[in-house]
Copies of this chain bind each other. A is one copy, B any other.
Amino acid sequence: MAIVRLLVSCPDRPGIVAAIAQEILGLGGNILQSDQHTTDPSGGAFFMRVEFDLQEPVDRTALAAAVDRLAHTFAMQVTVRFADEIKRAAIFVSRLDHCLVDLLWRWKAGDLPMTIPLIVSNHPDLKPAVDAFGVPFAVFPITKETKREREDEILQRLDGNVDVIILARYMQILTGVFVARYPGRIINIHHSFLPAFVGGRPYEQAALRGVKIIGATAHYATENLDEGPIIEQDVVRVSHRDGVSDLVRKGKDIEKAVLARAVRWHLEDRLLVYRNRTLVFAC
């Protein structure tokens, strides 16, 4: 059996669920899970994630035709994914290893359905850690002057091999040119509860402001740093007893957890971006 997932958005009107379900039935599919949301009873937007089984071998022509009919009839955006078409993720890192190592261990434990064709870094430091997992590691040192050039080299290296890019505390800001090549497919982790403490040194900012909670935010990267659609956020309590090292430790834990959830949801096709917001179809 092949598991197929549809992520759907379109203007709302009666009959959309019936049409989708009818097309799936016509393909011989059995719906396993569906989750549908309408922004507004009177003329809003319609969103749906539906997961269904198809008999092997899948008749891809029939599936494409069904999706085309839906897209045409309802002015629908449809993303079609097969659960067994595992996504290929490139992970970008600099020197901090906690997010990278956490992703690698979860991946190795079978909790993140992806392959990792390449890990990219602007520093060689984490090569040994990566080697232990048998994953290719490529260093692209970056200076202000060489950034665009290096990015092109990276893009060339990734080209055709990568479905999603995970910025696991990559300390280089990607240019708009680069981001535009992977729209909605670059996940970043920001070490604060956005939109509080945008920009650099959020822990110092948080300590100075005396907040009682710190957080982390995973979001899709867009040209404007820290302003892309938020995927997931979480927080942890802090107090005056927490010194800088405690904040860093707590921060790392929350960053790892938030990034891992965001990545898993992306890999499982649970995310749908609409007007710079992310709908999460997850438990």
A contact residues vs B (CB 8 Å cutoff): 1, 3, 12-18, 20-22, 24-25, 28-38, 41, 47, 53, 97-98, 101, 105, 109, 111, 132, 193-197, 209-213, 215, 229-235, 238-242, 246, 249, 252-253, 257, 276-280, 283
Contacts and interface: CB of A to CB of B under 8 A. Distances in A.
5 contacts: A14-B31, A31-B36, A193-B213, A194-B209, A253-B257
Contact of A35 (B18, B35, B213, B252): B35
Number of copies of this protein chain within its complex: 4
A14 B18 contact: no
A41 B3 CA distance: 10
B24 A18 contact: yes
A189 B36 CA distance: 31
Nearest to A16: B31
A56 to B, nearest CB: 14
Contact of A14 (B28, B38, B111): B28
A243 to B, nearest CB: 9
Given A36-B33, A41-B53, A283-B242, A212 B235 contact: no
A251 to B, nearest CB: 12
A30 B1 contact: no
